[in-house]
Each structure stands twice: as C-alpha cells, then as structure tokens.
C-alpha cells in the first residue's frame, strides 16, 4: 500500500492502517522498494564494467585481441559454459518453484526445491572454478582477460553471497521465522537470485556468443 | 476525542508507535539510529574536512604568491591540490548537503519519525569519516598527485597513496548510494498523510532528485575506481594504452558519475534556498511546480552530458555537437529556477537575515558560474579555455559560490532548529559580506588569468600573471578568516546564545511546528497535510499538529488549519 496513492483526506489514510496485516504490508512494501533500488544500483555497477568491456573491445581492430607476440588469443569455450549456465538457469527455475511451494504452504516441497537451488548454485560456482583453471588467458595478461575475470568474478562473488543468503533463508524458514502470509525475506532472496541469473544471461551473451 | 484518535494513523498500535529514546552517550550520540543525530554527525565531520581541505587551499594560494612558487615543491603542490579537490567534493560538500541537511531536515519536512532504514543510515554515516581518514592519511605514504580527477595514465604511475584514494572514494561512494536508496524509500513511502508530491517542500524535491543521482551514478564511479585499483595493485589492464587499455575509458566512466555529481552537490543547495527565499520574502514561492520538476529534469539531463568534460581529450568528434547541445539544454531548467526565485523576491517584504543574504549571494554567484559554464559547454570556446584557470574560476563559482553558499545559508536557517539556540545576527551579516566580497576577489581574477592562458595545476607560472594571482591569494586569506567568524558564531551561540523558539522565522514547513531542538520522536502524532507549505498569509495547512507552547505569543505560529474538508478540493 503506497502512501503515494493516497488522496488528500487523512481519514482515508487512517482507515488503511486498521489491521496489523496492513501495517505489515506497509513496512514490507518499504523494504521491497529499498531492496529493488539496491538491485538497480547493482545493475549500474555491472553496467559500468560491461561498458568498459564493450569500449575496450571496440577500440581494437580484432577481438579476441592480438598479443604483442602477434598471436590472437583464443575464444572462450562456449560448450562448457553453456552446460554450466544450465545449472544457474535451472536454479532460477527451482527457486521459483520453491517460492510457489511456500505460497501454497507445501513445506516439504519448499525444502526440496531450496536444496536443489543451493546445490545447483554450488555446482555453477564449481564449474566456473574449473573454467578459470583451464581458460587459456590470464587476468592481467590482456584487456580480454581483465574484463572477463573481473566481470565473471564479480558475478561469481554475487552467486557466492547468494548461496550464503539462501542457506540462511532455508534455516530461517525451517525455524519458523516466516509464515504463510509473511515471508518478505524469501521474496527478497528470490529477487536476488533471479537478478544474479539475469546478469549471467547478459554476461554469457557478451563473452561467449558475441 | 475517541473519534479523533481513531482517525489518526499515528495512534494505531503496531505501525506508528514511538520508540523509547536510547540512554547512554554511545547509543544517543555516537551510534545513534536517529536521523537527526546522524545528520549532525555528518555536519560535524563534513565541517572538519572542510577546514582541512580549506587549509590545503590556502597552501595553494601561498605557493602562488610568487611566480617561482613560494613554499613547496612541484610534487607536493600536485598532492596538495589533488587532496584539496577530493576533500572538498567528496568529504565536504556531498556529505554536508545529502547526509547532513538531508538527514536532519528531510524526515522532519515530510512528517516522518526517521528515515526508512535507520541501521543503513548508521552504516552509511560511519563509512564517511573512515573514508575521510583514509583519504587524508595518503599524505603519509605519498599522496595522489593527478588532480581530483586522477586521470590515467598519470594516476597509474602515481604514488602508493593513489590506491588509498581509490579505497576512500569507493567507500564514500557506497555510503552515498546507501543514503540515496534510504532517502528515496523514505520520500516515496513515509510522507505524512495527505502530503502528495505537489505538497512536498521543495527541499525534499531536491533531495529526491539528488537521491536518484546518488543511487544510479555513484555505483558507476565505484566500477571505475575498482578497475583503477585493480590495475594499480594487480596489474590488470583497463586503462594502460600500452597494454590494450584506454585512458579515455576512465574519463567516460569517471565523468558519467562526476557530472551528475555536480548536481548532487548543487540540487540540495537549490532546495535550501527554495526554502529560504519565500520565508524571508514573506511571499509564496513563485512557480512551485516548475521548481520541483526542474530538479528532476536537471537530474535526468545530468546523465546525458558527461562528455563535455572531454572535448579536448581526443573523443570522437561527432560526439561533440550532441554533448554541447544537451549541456546547454540544462541551462533551461536551471534558468527556470533562477527566474522563479527572482520572481519570489519581487515585491516581497525582504528581511536581510544572514540566511537570506547567503541565499541572495548564492543567486548572484551561482548564476555567474552557470553562465561561464555555458562558455565551457560551447566547443569552440572550450578549446581555448580547457585546462586553464577559467575552469578553476568556473568550478569555484558553482561549488563555493553555489553549494557552499547554500550550505552556509542552510546553517544559518536551520541552526536554531538543530541547536535550540540563536546565532548572533550581526556576526552573521559580517560573515556574509566578508565572504561574498573576498570570494569574488579570490575567484573573479581567475577568469582573466585563464583567458590570458595561465594553465591550472601548475606550481610555477610566468611573471606577468603575478598581479592577479596575488590579488586572488589575498582574497583567499580574507575568505579563510571570514569562515572563522562562522565557527566563532556557532561556538558562542552554543555557549551563551539566546534560546530559540520553535519557529523563529515564522516559516511554514513541518520542521518549524515542533520545538527547537525537536524531540527524539519528532512528532507525537503525525500531522495531516492539506496544501503545499508556501502560502504565506494563510493559516498553516496542517491538521493535528502537536500542541506547542506558543513562545512568541502571536498565536499564528501554530494555528491549526480551519477546515479539513477544504483539502478535498485541491
């Protein structure tokens, strides 16, 4: 319930706060807005580095760039990254199902989907660690490496924080912090996880397909 | 009475309860969650960094007394002006206008008990002094010496303190972002009942536009700083042209933040003077909606003009024309404000209180700086003026003559509300005239120096520039001395100042309807708002104000609005 939608009559306003649930919805909306704004500012941080990547990429005639010794750097391995991405995208779906199960008061399904999400998230991070070890370029060797490792590293850090976040939510949900009608923490966690997913869509296109 | 209570959102249990005031010095004054206390903390820390950065400015002016450089080496000089700029922009003006006045005044003006996320506010505040200490401690390891803009490749080769600079500015940037998010949610969700957007005080409109800029632009700077830090510490190529990087990339990322940042610094000052003009002219503000919406227009346009800082940087030439035109377009909403303020003063019964004097001084010097800004926005003149003292003169007219004058005006205006004590009127007038005159003596000659070709950021200069440099230096000494008058005035007010009434200026925004200083909870019951606060001569447009002792005895100060139902028609 947004105060911005109020008409000028204060009586009408007062009437909206008559139940405790209304009050909960009001503070929830506030936290939700704050969380969404935080995600927007986070998008800007990624955008800054994506801009840097596109700028550096377009300022040289060839991409992947040619090193001083005259060799062109190899492209990234699309196949492995695509399989690994499936883990993250799949975790977005399982997170959605977890949320839906919670809304339908199906706790055992919720637990199952949450565990699946966390496992898939960890699998994605492991896959990324494997890729880091086997990729032919280094962080400080070229602008390609600099942008790739910085952007995917930032994203991986977000996934790592997200996994800790989801584990916390899982524990909280099972110790009675949330109820069938009051579960803002879960909503925020879902939003965050989808945000991490969407960022990866952009990064996957920019580094592997473009 | 029961019915009245039922109709008051403030009395419904669970939502709007008043928290108990914390006890103990630490909870009350150091790690307080109260936006008012945090606002005062911002002001104290900001003024402290203002003094430090100001002393660095005086070192610069002493150095430039003689063409050969009077006191310090060129390397030290580079560090001094770099930290003067960084300190003034990030540690003084931005925290003062957003964290300081924003935290103290904005929640009071919208009729809230606090900001939306008090813990976030506390976190954001403590990042600020830590960032300030990190910034100035870079003197110990070799201070950054590439100017406040830290352009690579110079900043890549700079002394170790440059990395500390990155960390400090990154921290203050995160602090700004968090404050921006906090203020946006506060303004969107916590306005008093009936306070629609077009009934909101103009200072809050300015804070709204500023918070948007803070939230979006500052994280872009964080990205640029992170990349610079990584390149310096881990040799990761972003900006080094020898390794495929691009120095222009830094300029794009830096100015994408730092041009909006000049609006972060000036919009709250616009808000401050928008409160002061109607109050001391005893007239409704002229063009309320135009002033409010032009803040948003400036904020949006501010994102589309950054490359006008880069006309001489080797940017693609076809980009010059759109950036030049968009920059000049910003003069339109700014001009709307200037003319609205002048129309507010027109025919008003003006009281030349120090706050009003500084607001009028702001109007003059900021307009002057705005006009030289249009010179710099035009590509042909910019090619001549870029990198000269003309730019130094311009930025000081808009940042000192604009933002700092706004801060001084706001200090005089809200000081009684914050401290509960009156400042000395006469000392305030002396402070204004000394500041205004010495400000112009200091910075006006810099225009001529710049047009004659004196480059900025040099420790030595050609002998023919000496006369105006000496004039500027003498002006700056008086300017520094005049600021001491302000600090003396504040100190003597705290010690033996007259007790301030709740509403010493007969102003009409909500913060003046409660006692000075306000109680911990701000409002016992949240009042309902019926109109915008600028209709001088009419009763206050609020319903359900807390009863106050009518200290001035004229009865009008806290008179409730006559008819609640009149609000329906607006």
| Confidence at residue A19, expressed as pLDDT on a 0 to 100 scale | 64
Rounded Cα–Cα distance for residues B472 and B53 (Å): 17
Q: Kindly provide the ipTM of the predicted complex, given to two decimals.
A: 0.89
Which of A135, A152, A91 is CA-nearest to residue A117?
A91
Residue range(s) defining the domain that contains residue A14:
3-209
Q: Each residue of B22-51: pLDDT tens digit?
A: 788 888 888 999 999 999 999 999 999 999
Could you read off the pLDDT of B337-359 as tens digits, one per residue? 999 999 999 999 999 999 999 99
Residue B316 located in a structural domain: yes
The pLDDT, as a whole number, for residue A24 is 80
Across the interface, which of A13, A33, A146 has its CB nearest the CB of B194? A13
Report chain B's mean pLDDT, rounded to a whole number.
Answer: 90
B123 touches chain A (CB under 8 A): no
CA pair distance A71, A68, nearest whole angstrom: 7
We report the CATH number of the domain holding residue B106 as: 1.20.210.10
Flag whether pLDDT at B125 surpasses 60: yes
What percent of chain B is predicted at pLDDT more than 70? 93
B185/A41 touch (CB, cutoff 8 Å), yes or no = no
Please indicate, yes or no, if residue B13 is contained in any of the structural domains.
no
Is residue B405 in some structural domain? yes
> A72-76, B5-9, B221-225, B283-287: which range is least confident on average?
B5-9
Q: What is the CATH number of the domain that holds A143?
A: 1.20.120.80
**pLDDT greater than 60 at residue A81:** yes
Q: Does B360 score more than 90 pLDDT?
A: yes
| B456-467 average pLDDT score | 94
Q: Give the count of domains, chain B.
A: 1
CA distance B102 to B534: 20
pLDDT band at B195 (very low <50, low <70, confident <90, very high): very high
**Domain count along chain A:** 1
Within 8 A by CB and 6+ apart from B421, the residues are B415, B493, B494, B497, B498, B499, B500
Confidence tier at B17 by pLDDT (50, 70, 90): low
Query: What's the whole-model pTM score?
Result: 0.91
CB atoms closer than 10 angstroms to residue B333: 20
Determine, yes or no, domain membership for B26: no
Chain B neighbors of A71, CB-CB under 8 A: none
User: Rounded to an integer, what distance in angstroms lies between the CA atom of residue B35 and that of residue B190?
Assistant: 14
Picking from B219, B255, B529 by the largest number of A CB atoms within 10 A of its own CB, the best residue to mutate is B219
Beta-carbon separation of A33 and B193 below 8 A: no
Instruction: Decide if B559 is inside a domain.
Output: yes
pLDDT value at residue A69? 81
Chain B neighbors of A8, CB-CB under 8 A: 194, 196, 530, 567-568, 570
The three-state DSSP-derived secondary structure of B367-394 is HHHHHHHHHHHCHHHHHHHCCEHHHHHH
- Model confidence at B272, pLDDT cuts 50, 70, 90, reads very high
| Mean pLDDT for chain A overall | 89
- Determine the distance in angstroms separating the CA of A142 from the nearest CA of chain B, rounded to an integer: 6
Q: DSSP assignment, residue A141?
A: T
Return the pLDDT at A23: 76
Q: For residue A4, is pLDDT > 80?
A: no
Q: Residue B431 pLDDT more than 80?
A: yes
CB-CB neighbours of B10 under 10 Å: 23
Q: Check if the beta carbon of residue B198 is closer than 8 Å to that of residue B292.
A: yes
Provide, as residue numbers in chain A, all residues whose Cβ is less than 8 Å from the Cβ of B567: 8-9
pLDDT for A142 beyond 60: yes
Give chain B positions within 8 Å (CB) of A55. 246, 249, 252
Measured between CA atoms, how close is B174 to chain A, in angstroms?
10
Q: How many CA atoms lie less than 13 Å away from A44 in the CB half-sphere?
A: 24
Contact A8 B190 (CB under 8 A): no
Give the Cβ contact number of residue A182 at 10 Å.
13
pLDDT at B222: 95
> Which structural domain range is residue B151 located in?
32-569
Contacts with A, B 370-429, CB within 8 Å: none
Residues A198, A101: Cα–Cα separation, whole Å: 22
C-alpha gyration radius of chain A: 22
In this prediction, residue A71 carries a pLDDT of 85
Closest residue by Cα to residue A159 from A195, A112, A203: A195
Distance CA B51, CA B307 (A): 32
Q: Is A6's CB within 8 Å of B230's CB?
A: no
Q: Any idea how long chain A is?
A: 210
Is cis: bond before A64, omega within 30 of 0?
Answer: yes
- For B568, the closest chain A residue by CA position comes to A8
Long-range contacts (CB closer than 8 Å, 24 or more residues apart) made by B136-144: B136/B49, B136/B52, B136/B83, B136/B87, B137/B164, B138/B83, B138/B162, B138/B164, B138/B165, B138/B168, B139/B79, B139/B83, B142/B79, B143/B79, B143/B80, B143/B82, B143/B83, B144/B79, B144/B82, B144/B83, B144/B86
To test the contact with chain A by mutation, choose from B15, B179, B564 the residue with the greatest count of A C-beta atoms within 10 A, namely B15
Highest-confidence range of A27-31, B306-310, B418-422, by mean pLDDT? B418-422
Query: Does the pLDDT at position B3 exceed 90?
Result: no
**Cα–Cα dist B49/B43, whole Å:** 10
Which chain A residues touch B237 with a CB distance below 8 Å? 140, 142-143, 146
Chain A residues with CB-CB distance to B249 below 8 A: 52, 55-56
Residue B525 included in any domain = yes
Q: pLDDT confidence of B537, banded at 50, 70, 90? A: confident
Whether chain A has a CB inside 8 Å of the CB on B530: the answer is: yes
Rg (CA), chain B: 24
pLDDT of residue A16 exceeding 60? no
Residue A175, number of CB atoms within 10 A of its CB: 8
Is B115 a domain residue? yes
What pLDDT, in 10s, does the model give residues B317-337?
888 899 999 999 999 999 999
């Amino acid at each position: 319930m947004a105060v911005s939608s109020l008409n000028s009559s204060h009586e009408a306003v007062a009437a909206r706060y008559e139940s405790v649930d209304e009050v909960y919805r009001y503070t929830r909306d506030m936290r939700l807005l704050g969380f969404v704004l935080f995600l927007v500012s986070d998008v800007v941080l990624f955008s800054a580095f994506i801009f840097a990547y596109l700028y550096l990429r377009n300022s040289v005639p060839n991409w992947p760039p040619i090193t001083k010794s005259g060799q062109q750097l190899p492209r990234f391995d699309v196949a492995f990254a695509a399989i690994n991405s499936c883990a993250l995208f799949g975790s977005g779906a399982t997170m959605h199902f977890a949320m839906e199960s919670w809304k339908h008061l199906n706790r055992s399904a919720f637990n199952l989907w949450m565990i699946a999400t966390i496992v898939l998230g960890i699998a994605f991070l492991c896959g990324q660690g494997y890729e880091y070890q086997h990729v032919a370029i280094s962080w400080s060797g070229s602008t390609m490496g600099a942008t790739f490792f910085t952007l995917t590293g930032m994203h991986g850090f977000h996934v790592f924080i997200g996994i800790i976040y989801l584990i916390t939510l899982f524990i909280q949900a099972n110790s009675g912090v949330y109820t069938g009608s009051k579960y803002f923490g879960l909503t925020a966690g879902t939003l965050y996880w989808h945000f991490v997913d969407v960022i990866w869509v952009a990064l996957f296109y920019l580094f592997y397909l473009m | 009475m029961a019915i009245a209570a039922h109709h008051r959102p403030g009395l419904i249990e669970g939502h709007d309860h008043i928290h108990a005031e914390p006890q103990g010095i630490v909870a009350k004054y150091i790690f307080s969650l109260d936006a008012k206390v945090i606002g005062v903390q911002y002001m104290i820390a900001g003024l402290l960094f203002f003094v430090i950065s100001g002393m660095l400015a005086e070192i610069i002016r002493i150095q430039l007394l003689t063409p050969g450089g009077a006191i310090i080496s060129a390397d030290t000089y580079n560090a001094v002006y770099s930290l003067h700029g960084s300190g003034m922009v990030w540690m003084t003006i931005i925290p003062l206008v957003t964290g300081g006045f924003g935290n103290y005044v904005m929640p009071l003006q919208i009729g809230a008990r606090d900001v939306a996320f008090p813990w976030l506010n506390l976190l954001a505040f403590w990042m600020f002094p830590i960032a300030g200490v990190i910034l100035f401690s870079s003197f110990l390891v070799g201070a950054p010496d590439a100017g406040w803009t830290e352009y690579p490749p110079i900043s890549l080769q700079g002394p170790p303190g440059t990395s500390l600079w990155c960390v400090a500015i990154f921290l203050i940037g995160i602090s700004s972002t968090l404050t921006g998010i906090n203020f946006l949610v506060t303004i969107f969700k916590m306005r008093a009942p009936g306070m629609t957007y077009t009934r909101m005080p103009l200072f809050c409109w300015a804070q709204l536009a500023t918070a948007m800029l803070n939230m979006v632009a500052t994280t872009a700077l964080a990205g640029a700083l992170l990349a610079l830090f990584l390149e310096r510490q881990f040799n990761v190529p972003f900006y080094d042209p020898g390794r495929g990087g691009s120095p222009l990339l830094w300029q794009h990322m830096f100015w994408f933040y730092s041009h909006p940042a000049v609006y972060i610094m000036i919009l709250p000052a616009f808000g401050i003077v928008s409160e002061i003009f109607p109050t001391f002219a005893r007239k409704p503000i002229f063009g309320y909606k135009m002033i409010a919406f032009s803040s948003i227009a400036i904020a949006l346009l501010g994102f589309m003009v950054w490359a006008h800082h880069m006309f001489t940087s080797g940017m693609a030439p076809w980009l010059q024309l759109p950036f030049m035109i968009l920059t000049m377009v910003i003069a339109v909403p700014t001009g709307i404000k200037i003319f609205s303020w002048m129309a507010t003063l027109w025919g008003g019964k003006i009281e030349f209180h120090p706050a009003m004097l500084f607001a009028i001084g702001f109007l003059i010097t900021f307009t002057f700086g705005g006009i030289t800004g249009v010179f710099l926005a035009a590509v042909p003149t910019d090619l001549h003026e870029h990198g000269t003292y003309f730019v130094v003169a311009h930025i000081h007219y808009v940042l000192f003559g604009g933002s700092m004058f706004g801060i001084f005006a706001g200090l005089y205006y809200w000081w009684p509300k914050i401290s509960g004590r009156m400042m000395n009127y006469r000392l305030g007038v002396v402070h204004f005239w000394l500041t205004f005159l010495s400000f112009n003596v200091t910075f006006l000659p810099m225009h001529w120096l710049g047009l004659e070709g004196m480059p900025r950021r040099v420790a030595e200069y050609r002998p023919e520039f000496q006369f105006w440099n000496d004039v500027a230096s003498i002006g700056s000494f008086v300017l520094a001395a005049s600021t001491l008058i302000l600090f003396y005035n504040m100190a003597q007010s705290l010690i033996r100042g007259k007790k301030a009434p709740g509403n010493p200026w007969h102003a009409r925004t909500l913060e003046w309807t409660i006692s000075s200083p306000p109680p911990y909870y701000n409002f016992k019951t949240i009042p309902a708002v019926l109109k915008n606060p600028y209709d001088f001569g009419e009763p206050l447009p609020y319903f359900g104000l807390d009863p106050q002792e009518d200290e001035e005895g004229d009865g009008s100060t806290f008179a409730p609005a006559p008819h609640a139902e009149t609000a329906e028609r607006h």
